[in-house]
Each structure stands twice: as structure tokens, then as C-alpha cells.
């Protein structure tokens, strides 16, 4: 199964595409959609949507996963992040792709085994789980791959439980 993982942000949206059987994962592509903080929010959201549509068209994922909004002390930041998530969910839905949504805690537990893991730990485990030889330069892309791995692991586990019934 090919899974697109998305780690939303209004300035940096990480993305990663993996091929997986639910246990073994390999990274096909990853990157970051960057926008200028000085641009109006609608223009940044349009850039994110356009880039995600192109990524979906190029890599044809069968499933997608998006990280849920992490509430911080700054409500304004959380609202902007929610806008970016909405754009990502829309781009995925337009393509007719099933999408999973996971909290940062769920992603970290799935990938690292510890819900309060540091970004560096997530990067190391993503590299280990996917067999990547080189380090993933962007934390945003590593987080997106982690979201995809979380979805693959959860989907595979649910399918095994369903088959056992």
C-alpha cells in the first residue's frame, strides 16, 4: 500500500510517501512545501493545496494520513494550523483517497514507542524503520513520514484483528 503522510503548517508543510505492507516501510519520496510568512494566509493555503494536488498526482497514494492539530498556548497559531489541515484534508478528499487522522501522541507512540519523544528521536526511528541510508534533513518531512508509518501500522493492525474475527 502506498501512503501519503502530511505534517501541516502554514509556513512549512512536510510530506512523505511510503510503500508499506504494514510491517516493512520504504520511503518513495519526501519534502517540504514552503511558503513565505509575509504572504497573506489565503495565498499560502493556495500554495499548499496546489503542491499537495501535484504530489498526489505524481505519487498516486492509496491512503493518506494527516496529523491532528496540536493545541499550543497560542490560539492564533492553532487556528492557522487548522486552516492548513483543512486544505490538506480537502486535497486528499478531492482525490478520493481515504484519510486517517492521528494525534502527535499517537504518531510518537506508533513510531518511537514513547508519546513524549523528541523530534530527533522521531527522525532516528523513521530512518531506522524505513531503512533510509541518509538522514532526513527536514523535521517536517520526517514527521510526515512518521504519520504515514502510524497510519500503515494502525491500518495493518486493524486488518489483522478483522481477519481474526
The whole-angstrom separation of Cα 122 and Cα 120 is: 5
Q: pTM for the whole thing?
A: 0.91
pLDDT in tens, 56-82: 999 999 999 999 987 666 788 888 899
Structurally, how many domains does the chain consist of?
1
Q: From residue 164, how far is each of 22, 157, 158, 160, 161 by CA, in Å?
A: 16, 11, 10, 6, 5
Alpha helical stretches, state H, the chain? 41-59, 75-94, 104-111, 119-130, 139-164
Cell output for 51: 503542491
CA pair distance 43, 29, nearest whole angstrom:
25
Does residue 34 register a pLDDT over 50?
yes
Kindly list the catalytic residues.
7, 67, 140
Domain residues for the domain of 131 are: 2-164
- pLDDT tens per residue across span 44-59: 999 999 999 999 999 9
Q: What is the CATH number of the domain that holds 30?
A: 3.30.420.10
Nearest-10 crossing angle of helices 104-111, 139-164? 80
- 18-27, 94-103, 128-137, 140-149, range with the lowest pLDDT: 128-137
Q: Which residues pair with 79 in a beta bridge?
A: none
Amino acid at each position: 500500500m502506498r501512503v501519503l503522510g502530511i505534517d501541516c503548517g502554514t509556513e512549512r508543510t512536510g510530506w512523505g510517501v511510503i510503500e508499506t505492507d504494514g510491517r516493512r516501510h520504504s520511503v518513495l519520496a519526501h519534502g517540504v512545501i514552503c511558503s513565505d510568512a509575509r504572504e497573506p494566509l489565503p495565498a499560502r493555503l493556495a500554495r499548499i493545496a496546489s503542491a499537495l494536488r501535484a504530489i498526489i498526482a505524481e505519487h498516486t497514494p492509496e491512503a493518506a494520513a494527516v496529523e491532528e492539530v496540536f493545541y499550543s498556548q497560542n490560539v492564533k497559531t492553532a487556528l492557522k494550523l487548522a486552516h492548513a489541515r483543512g486544505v490538506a484534508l480537502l486535497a486528499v478528499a478531492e482525490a478520493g483517497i481515504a484519510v486517517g487522522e492521528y494525534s502527535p501522541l499517537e504518531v510518537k507512540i506508533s513510531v518511537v514507542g514513547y508519546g513524549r519523544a523528541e523530534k530527533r528521536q522521531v527522525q532516528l526511528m523513521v530512518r531506522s524503520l524505513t531503512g533510509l541510508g541518509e538522514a532526513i534533513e527536514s523535521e517536517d518531512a520526517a514527521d510526515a513520514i512518521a504519520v504515514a508509518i502510524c497510519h500503515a501500522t494502525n491500518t495493518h493492525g486493524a486488518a489483522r484483528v478483522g481477519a481474526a474475527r
